[in-house]
Amino acid sequence: MKWFEIILVVLTLGSGLVVLLDKLYLRKRRAEKASLLDSEEPAVVDYSRAFFPVLAVVLILRSFVAEPYKIPSSSMMPNLLIGDFILVNKFSYGFRLPITNTKIIPVSEPKRGDVVVFKPPHAPDQNWIKRVIGLPGDRIGFHGDTLSINGVPMVYEDRGEYVGKGRGAEMTGASLLSEQLPGRSHTILELLGRADPRGQGDWVVPEGQYFVMGDNRDNSEDSRFWQQTHFLPEENLRGKAFLIWLNCEGWFCKGSFEPSRIGTGIQ
């Protein structure tokens, strides 16, 4: 994804520079040296003038408005499935420059429960998606199958046994639970009584960083398991996930396809 961003920026700036040079200098020079019958502009100028507006619009939309993202794993089930194509709001947490992701205009900060796309500190060339659980200063604990925030265990409501579809069928039989985060609730999957001991512990979230977890609690490589640091730096945020615009698996949607998920907001 980073290479696509770099290529898009280079092509946009390059074509824009060609158009500008042609307008300020090259066109006049051609007119002075060529006759009226031989004033055809070079192909590079023609292509640059045609593609620059399109490239510029795509770059602006993708960098500052919304970016598409495909869910590659089951870590956010049951709320996001493998094959979901989502949109990420790029200005929810501030306007950032493309490539460097440097924030230039602050807007707001992530709230507990937000589903965010980010670059993990140990894999900065990748984009991951998780839910914000811990805010700066929070004390996060995860013991057994229970999450606690600032010493308060979360309340869970059992919604029965989960039945997966397509590539998510492996989670069939897991417990579907409603987890009551402070101020909001969302559904999670748990294989009750089978918690990985490596993901057990207590953490205090530093300033300017966040603690993130997947909704599929027994199948998510999240803050609990990161070795170098258990926390997500604010500068690694890409945006807030807000909409499913397609659900499709395989080439030409030959795999599972759930049209009912299209247009669904992400809670």
Catalytically active residues, by annotation: 75, 130
| Residue 133 neighbours by CB under 8 Å, 6+ apart | 112, 140, 147, 149, 181, 210, 211, 212, 213, 223
Report the C-alpha dihedral over residues 179, 149, 135, 109, rounded to 10 degrees. 40
Size (the chain), residues:
267
Asked if 172 contacts 77 with a C-beta cutoff of 8 angstroms, the reply is no
What is the rounded CA–CA span in Å between residue 90 and residue 190? Answer: 31
The alpha carbon dihedral of 65, 71, 72, 73 has a sign of positive
Give the torsion sign (CA, 245, 247, 250, 254). negative
CB distance 162 to 74 below 8 Å: no
* Amino acid, res. 137: G
- Please state, in angstroms and rounded to a whole number, the distance separating the CA atoms of residues 220 and 178: 18
